[in-house]
Chain A
Amino acid sequence: MPPLLSVKNLKTYFFMDEGIVKAVDGVTFDVRAGQVFGIVGESGCGKSVTMKAILRIVEPPGRIVKGEILLNSQSAHNGNRVIDLAQLDANGKEMRAIRGAEIALIPQEPMAAFSPVHTVGDQVIEAIMLHQPVNKREARQIARQMFADVGIPMPEQRLDEYAWQLSGGLRQRAIIAMALSCNPRLLIADEPTTAVDVTTQAQVLRLLRRLQEERNSAIIFITHDLGVIAQMAEYVMVMYLGLVMEQGPVDDIFHAPKHPYTQALLRSIPSMDSTPRVNLPTISGSIPHPFNKPRGCPFHPRCPKSMPGKCDVRVPALQAVAENQSVSCFLYHDAEVAE
């Protein structure tokens, strides 16, 4: 069975007056049905742009310059076939039938995601009516049921409230209800808990885990929080400056990381059981500005194992080093990215 989503050598560039920002520069991964696929990375690594490219909502001056985004579509509108989303018209009928129905998004900022002048109920009902052949009464029934499913108390009353009347936790639940209202097979959660507190975060993560198990939908979970990834994902992809550094099953990424960047990242976080008040191992330097990305492997200026003459000249390709685990680093293989 083909994977639900297969991204192949995706490149998304932003053409600015000052130059070209290669936000996503050759990213390849597969998401299987029912899988929780985690993408971790720091700011500027291209994790959000990857998500936007899949949904085809990259704003100009950005555009997809290369690559395939193959969705194994199973919908009333598009039928059962593999569609290359990168080839579709971003505003065309086909893409609009996929966006929201087959692939739904849980955005980072629930306040910004809802319109302040429409009730949350109206907004969820609108999404349902757009994708399902139901009338307004039935749509409201579905919305009410969704609100109840995500654990919003008094769902009937909440439907008629505005986003600003809800607390952060409820707003995040309402967004999840909206994203799930059309039974998407793929859910993209872009930092869904970054804007909320730890106790709310725990509630939201638990909810997502329960819903994912019940509905068996796949989730692409984007975050910079390694704790959240460890708890949520089955398979993890680590990104840095537009490239995939490493990908593998969650246990291998956390217990047998191969790439020096993954290793350094895991060491640098203060954990609940690390020795207090002792200097943490750090990654030297800072993330380069996207306009002056280093030549060769993007991580080489900060890498303790950088090999001069190799890492600063050639870009390593993503190669399998173990079953299911692949790394783009010359320490493990000699394959480079073909220009």
Chain B
Amino acid sequence: MTNANSTPLLQVKHLKKYFPIRKGFFRRTVGYVRAVDDVSFFINEGETLGLVGESGCGKTTASRCILRAHAPTSGEMLFRTKDGQTVDLAKLKRGELRPLRRQMQMIFQDPYGSLNPRMTLFDIVGEPLLVHGMTNRKERTERVAELLQLVGLRPEYMQRFPHAFSGGQRQRIGIARALSVNPRLVVADEPVSALDVSVQAQILNLMLDLQKRLNLTYLFVAHNLSVVKHICDRVAVMYVGKLVEMATTEELYRAPKHPYTAALMAAVPVADPRIKTGNVELKGEVPSPAKPPPGCYFHPRCEYAVALCRTQPPEFREITPGHFVACHRADELKLPGIV
């Protein structure tokens, strides 16, 4: 699936997003929350990159920076546009960004909060079309009908309001809206975590199906490792604003190289009573991104930590082709994976 020779659709280099902490009467900046702290990764066209981590690790902030919902503090985000040019999304001004927004869309986590209850499906799905210049109402109606069909909803529903739909159907509406302007990159932020188990599978299948048909590229942000394993070609793991590991899904799950990745996988309860999981326990708490520990951010919780880990932050390096890891002991550790 991954093609090493193709130029990536999106290349993120040393992305940083710091939020200032202000205090006192003059709102003086007394520190920074390093939500995203020097993150580099790439996504090839047509593939799905999973971005996983626990709450507060910066995965949502990173994905929002890519869409420029947040202005990044520093770093480059090189995006290959439809006509083959490469632009740096981090440097573009508002007006210059607008035509590019057609090519990058987002699917949100909460299917209830992300749809305006006062707008009909036609208005919701048709709004991006209107914004991007499809002013003819008849054309828009046709396109919305086509999109609703694409995501498995009946076009007759067009005049209804979101409240008439279940969570899964609403998520389909959100997907139709994202796809309305023919994007190439779709950022899906926890698209199935708010859905019921029996509906999750439907949405995952729909996303896989649409990807094949429309040659979409997904950045799939999630915390559920089983879902990520199912849908992603490659996975990047984040911890306190930094990437700790990135590899193909198969390799990451079979032979994780970072102790945090291994701990995350060991923590997932397996839906089989004959396999007992949860015996390896990750001690302690996730540190605050405003006051991260020195050295490797994971060392206070890491059972493999040595003196070097406490002082020297590890570099995010490629240890085997396509497998990146930020751990001093990556070469010597043998960590258990799954399967």
Contacts and interface: CB of A to CB of B under 8 A. Distances in A.
Contacts of A265: 197-198
B281 A203 contact: yes
A50 B329 CA distance: 51
Interface string B117-146: 000000000000000000000000000000
A78 interface: no
12 contacts: A197-B54, A197-B55, A197-B223, A198-B267, A206-B278, A231-B276, A268-B200, A268-B201, A269-B226, A270-B201, A270-B230, A272-B338
B197 A268 contact: yes
B48 to A, nearest CB: 9
Interface stretch (A155-163, A280-288, A305-313): A280-288
A199 B208 CA distance: 28
Interface string B193-223: 0001111111011001100000000000001
A206 B208 CA distance: 35
Contact of B273 (A169, A225, A250): A250
B322 interface: no
B100 interface: no
A91 interface: no
B297 interface: no
Given A198-B54, A224-B197, A282 B205 contact: yes
A167 interface: yes
Interface string A220-255: 000011111111000000000000000000110011
A265 to B, nearest CB: 6
B181 to A, nearest CB: 26
A33 interface: no
A230 B273 contact: yes
A198 B270 contact: no
A183 interface: no
Interface in B253-293: 253, 263-274, 276-278, 281-282, 285-286
Interface string A7-36: 000000000000000000000000000000
Interface of B: 54-55, 166-169, 196-202, 204-205, 208-209, 223, 225-227, 229-233, 249-250, 253, 263-274, 276-278, 281-282, 285-286, 338-339
Interface in A255-289: 255, 264-266, 268-274, 276-277, 279-283, 286-287, 289
B249 A286 contact: no
A272 B201 contact: no
Contact of A42 (B54, B197, B264): B197
Interface residues of A, number: 47
B282 A199 contact: yes
B269 A228 contact: yes
B212 to A, nearest CB: 10
Contacts of B198: 42, 264-265, 268, 282-283, 286-287
A145 interface: no
Contacts of A250: 273
Nearest to B205: A279
B281 A272 contact: no
A255 B275 CA distance: 12
Nearest to A240: B198
A277 B208 contact: yes
Interface string A200-224: 1111011000000000000000001
Contacts of A229: 271
Contacts of B197: 42, 224, 226, 265, 268-269
Given A266-B271, A283-B202, 19 more contacts: A199-B263, A199-B264, A200-B54, A202-B269, A202-B278, A203-B281, A205-B269, A250-B273, A254-B272, A254-B273, A254-B274, A264-B198, A268-B200, A269-B200, A269-B226, A270-B200, A276-B230, A279-B209, A287-B199
A209 to B, nearest CB: 8
B281 A274 contact: no
